[in-house]
Amino acid sequence: MSLIVQKYGGSSVADAESIKRVAKRIVDTRSAGNDVVVAVSAMGDTTDDLIDLAHSVAERPDAREFDMLVTTGERVSMALLAMAIKDLGFDARSYTGSQAGMITDSKHGDARIVDVTPVRVREALDQGAIAIVAGFQGFNRDSRDITTLGRGGSDTTAVALAAALDADVCEIYSDVDGVFTADPRIVPLAHKLDHITSEEMLELAANGAKVLHIRAVEYARRQGVTLHVRSSFSDLPGTIVYNPERAEEFEVEEPMIAGVAHDLTQAKITVSGVPDVPGKAAQIFAIVAEQGANIDMIVQNVSGRGTGITDISFTLPKAGAEKVKRALEEAKDEIGYEQLTFTEGIGKISLVGSGMRTNIGVSARLFEALRDAGINIDMISTSEIRISITVRAELVTEATRVIHSAFGLDADHEAVVYAGTGR
């Protein structure tokens, strides 16, 4: 008998019919002899609706009250799910983040989990019941207030529970079939992966892939939790995201490249003609950090215009990029650069694969493929198992397809594309 944690996203519980369908799936899992714990998101667009409601009553909604408000979404879906399961004749109980022992720090809107003590959940399982836990929320012991976990919160809830309860697997359900080699909405020949290492999944998630949130992937990796990314609309197996401990089960068949992620949420700033003296980069990025921006790629090249000056380019999320631009413009004399260029018209593409460690020529193949397609590469940035490039935004789709083909990832047939959001 296994202990299975299942997470159902908003699209999987969007209405009464979906809730009943999910209840049936949960009951089938239980009937097969497993202990089942479920983390559930708010129904459909509820969270967005509640956020809109908050902004319609206040210009700057208070953070504590905001968390109290938005967490009602998961309370509604967890209670309805428990009701539907009980109506099918199985014992089920719902638990808020607080009742499930999801203890966090006090940072409303983006709380960190500091401890997970799912005592009541464990008791429910011991009594043969199914436990339904509200995703996306926790409890701060000091203030005794409800908190929300920030983006990817419900995935994180599921993984945290799986880790604390020593679950055999954590199934993440959404409206997509699993992890694909690229976003099937821009690469029709993308195919679903049967399995992927957690390290590769981390790189894909950190670089644009939306099916799993990076935070949940990190947590699973750190805690040794195996993830199974599946669709709640079918019974097909999805994608297993596994950790190094389980490598032997999968590695024999592991392809060199896992997939290609793309990211259109970045903007690029180039500070050119910076005096090439120690401390200038530090000065620039201190100003950037003050604005709270999360820098992604950084590239520094000695300027073609001569020795003694350099150009520094970096990418950052579009949201908040204007602030950074203005701050750097105000500091022009202080830094002493010649010119600042800002563009939102860029896209980042990342090729990810564990095989890069041991295979040479990957970058060569990548650059040749893009050269042959006449696509110009702007910035390049790498990690042990990832190569990222930036191109003009309007070329991202074509470039992604070119790279996908060049590395033999194309399926025999086009992927069936749902209007799915991957949530």
Whose Cβ is closer to a copy of itself: residue 54's or residue 335's?
54
d(CA 382, CA 273): 25
Q: Partners of 342 in the beta sheet? A: 269
Residues 6+ apart with CB under 8 A from 255: 353, 355
Query: How many alpha carbons lie under 13 Å from residue 159 in its C-beta half-sphere?
Result: 28
Piece of 62-70, 208-216, 290-298, 344-352 that binds a copy of itself (CB under 8 A): 62-70
CB of 331 to a copy of itself, least distance (A): 34
d(CA 230, CA 224): 19
The DSSP output letter for 376 is P
Q: Is 221 annotated as a binding residue?
A: no
d(CA 213, CA 237): 20
d(CA 120, CA 101): 8
Q: How far apart are the first and last CA of the chain?
A: 29
C-alpha pair distances (Å), 275 with each of 34, 302, 303, 334: 64, 10, 10, 11
Q: Which residue in the block uniquely carries the two structure tokens 């967890």?
A: 78
Q: Is 211 annotated as a binding residue?
A: yes
Piece of 60-68, 159-167, 181-189, 277-285 that binds a copy of itself (CB under 8 A): 60-68
Is 59 among the residues that bind a copy of itself (CB under 8 A)? yes
Q: Is 21 annotated as a binding residue?
A: no
Is 242 among the residues that bind a copy of itself (CB under 8 A)? no
User: What x/- string results for residues 89 through 128 when contact with a copy of itself is judged by CB under 8 A?
Assistant: ----xx----x--------------------x--------
User: What x/- string results for residues 20 through 49 when contact with a copy of itself is judged by CB under 8 A?
Assistant: x--x--------------------------
Strands 266-275, 339-343: pairing kind: antiparallel
CB of 125 to a copy of itself, least distance (A): 17
Pick the binder of a copy of itself from 51, 75, 246, 405 (CB under 8 A): 75
CB of 72 to a copy of itself, least distance (A): 4
Is 68 among the residues that bind a copy of itself (CB under 8 A)? yes
Whose Cβ is closer to a copy of itself: residue 36's or residue 258's?
36
Strand order in the sheet with 259-263: 259-263, 346-352, 386-392, 380-383
Binding site for a copy of itself (CB under 8 A): 16, 19-20, 23, 50, 53-54, 56-62, 64-66, 68-69, 71-72, 75-76, 78-84, 86-87, 93-94, 99, 120, 144
